Amino acid sequence: MPSQLSTRKKIAFSLVLLACLWLLVELTCLGGLWALKRYKNLEYQPKVVEDLNDKHKGILAAQIADTSSYLVFDPDLGWTIRPYGSKAQFKANSKGLRATREYDLRPAPGIVRVAAFGDSFTHASGVATGYTWEEKLEALDPGLEVMNFGIPGSDPGQALLRYRREGVQYHPAVVLIGFMSENINRMVNIFRPFYFARSGLPFSKPRFALEGGRLVLIENPIKSIDRYRELLKDPGQWLPRLGERDYFYQRRHRRSRCDFLPSVRFARVFEDQYLNQPIFQPDGLYNTRSEAYQVTFRVLDQFYREALANGSLPILVMYPQRKDIRLRHKGEKVMYQPLLDELRQRGYRVIDLGDGFQRYDPQAEMAGKNFLHYPREGNEMEARWIHDVMLQQGLTRPDGVRKALASTHAPGI
């Protein structure tokens, strides 16, 4: 009997000790969460998406009804510009290019055809027809023909797919590959609301990934309008499927029944920020070890190589956001500085529009205005800077482009 009592006391003591240790761990983790919030501005904030909001339901319902929206569902790209699409300030031609005219498959003799690919900054969504940087660039030099393949809300991976499907057939002499500094987030996103909840584009899209060191395409998971009908009917079933290869869904949408424990929340924050590499470093610059950065670099490299292989001269065009323009004016590094530095060090042809804004707007007056996309003066400065660079490199004449092509090779990676 005394022996049994002694054993029970030992077990009870052990349980009390374990409970005290557990409580100590939880209190320590609670303090850790406070410190991460206080000094690193990091906290556990899962954003579980179990349904579509009313705005997204309305947009999808309109797409299913095939209204005259400017952007339209595309099974391969996710979305694109509707042929002959129009909006308050925009007009598209029969091929879904932002243009008021059609283009022959081959440029006229003596003309340097420039094809621009990218997102809404390439599309020039901040200005009306007649004021886009593509139109301004043509006005600066009658020897240039500039085609606008930009798609609002897209990423360079979608731009590469559009180039493969549509751009190659137009035989551009120069291919401008647009990259806006925020695009790095889109590179690992599949369903836009997972990344940007207020987005007006509740569509899925393809993305590229690295598997075994190889760049592979993860195709658009929704290939038909019927699938969007299913999404509207049963979001709870479809949203986890859309999140399987989506960085933001996997990172944020992981609420569990154990989240009330500080240790669980602390472990999630620590894992996200220090084990799984975040997209940005604490100083706001790109994290070169992150999946998003690695995929971004490889997609830009692939686009560059394919343009060269097809006989076009590729140029990467970096679009700073308003925040980047302000940072540069203060003498600080812009968020995309690590990518810009690596591209230049490896020998890619790059145009940083930040250089142009610094030259033509040295006081950063444009950055003091309230805008999302470049206003008219921004498009004008962009056109002038791209023309300056092309003129300096002899790329405004066909013979100059041919000479540049002969001396241009894809850098090694």
Instruction: Flag whether pLDDT at 347 surpasses 70.
Output: yes
Q: Which residue has the tokens 């319902």?
A: 61
* Average pLDDT of the residues in 364-373: 93
- The most distant pair of C-alpha atoms in the chain lies apart, rounded to whole Å, by 106
Quick check: helix, strand or coil at residue 98? strand
Confidence check: pLDDT of 319 > 90: yes
Q: Which two tokens stand for residue 225?
A: 């309008």
pTM to 2 decimal places:
0.87
**70 is a domain residue:** yes
Q: How many domains does the chain have?
A: 1
Is 378's pLDDT higher than 70? yes
pLDDT band with cut points at 50, 70 and 90 for residue 40 = low
| Tokens read off for 72 | 């339209």
CB of 191 closer than 8 Å to CB of 249: yes
- Give the model's pLDDT for residue 198: 82
Residue 273 pLDDT > 70: no
Instruction: Give pLDDT, residue 38.
Output: 79
Per-residue confidence (pLDDT) for residue 51, from 0 to 100: 83
Assign 3 a pLDDT band (cuts: 50, 70, 90).
Answer: low
Share of the chain above pLDDT 70, in %: 93
CA torsion angle 112 116 122 128 (round to 10): 50
For residue 114, give Cα distances in angstroms to 66, 159, 174, 189, 386.
32, 15, 5, 29, 11
Question: Is residue 120 in some structural domain?
Answer: yes
pLDDT > 60? residue 373: yes
The residues with which 313 forms a beta bridge, in sequence order, are: 174
pLDDT at 48 over 70: no
Domain membership flag for residue 412: no
pLDDT at 258 over 80: no
The Cα–Cα gap between 149 and 101 comes to 13
Start-end of H helices in 36-91: 54-64
- Among residues 253, 244, 247, 313, the alpha carbon closest in space to that of 280 is found at 247
Q: Residue 175 falls within a domain, yes or no?
A: yes
As a whole number, mean pLDDT of residues 161-166 equals 98
Question: Does 76 score more than 80 pLDDT?
Answer: yes
Checking if the pLDDT of 4 tops 90, the result is no
Local confidence band at 150 (pLDDT 50, 70, 90 cut-offs): very high
Q: Which helix (H) or strand (E) is 207 found in, with range?
A: strand 207-211
Q: Give the mean pLDDT of the chain.
A: 92
Residue 30 predicted with pLDDT over 90:
no
Q: Collect all residues with Cβ–Cβ distance below 8 Å to 191 and sequence separation of at least 6.
A: 202, 203, 204, 205, 239, 242, 243, 246, 249
Look at residue 275 and tell me if it is in a domain: no
HSE at residue 229, side-chain half, CA atoms within 13 A, is 6
Across residues 379-401, what is the average pLDDT?
98
- To which H or E segment does residue 252 belong? helix 247-252
In whole angstroms, give the CA distance from residue 70 to residue 73. 10
Q: Please report whether residue 49 resides in a domain.
A: no
Which residues neighbour 368 within 8 Å (Cβ) at sequence distance 6 or greater? none
- DSSP 3-state helix, strand, coil percentages of the chain (rounded to 5)? 45, 15, 40
pLDDT class of 251 with cuts at 50, 70, 90? confident
| pLDDT higher than threshold 80 for residue 238 | yes
- Return the higher-pLDDT residue of 351 and 13: 351
Is pLDDT of 42 > 90?
no
Strands 174-180 and 313-319: parallel
Q: What is the pLDDT of residue 2?
A: 58
Range of the domain at 346: 54-257+286-406
Q: What CATH number corresponds to the domain at position 191? A: 3.40.50.1110
Task: Tell me which of 18 and 347 has the higher pLDDT.
Answer: 347
Which residues, 6+ apart, have CB-to-CB distance to 141 below 8 Å? Answer: 387, 391, 396
pLDDT for position 5: 58
Residue whose structure tokens are 């009917």: 233
Under the banding of pLDDT at 50, 70 and 90, the label for residue 205 is very high
**Predicted pLDDT of residue 196:** 86
Q: Tell me what pLDDT residue 254 has.
A: 61
* Average pLDDT of the segment spanning 106-128: 98
User: Does residue 201 register a pLDDT over 80?
Assistant: yes
Q: How large is the average pLDDT for residues 2-25?
A: 79
Q: Is residue 33 part of a domain?
A: no
Assess if residue 340 is contained within a domain. yes
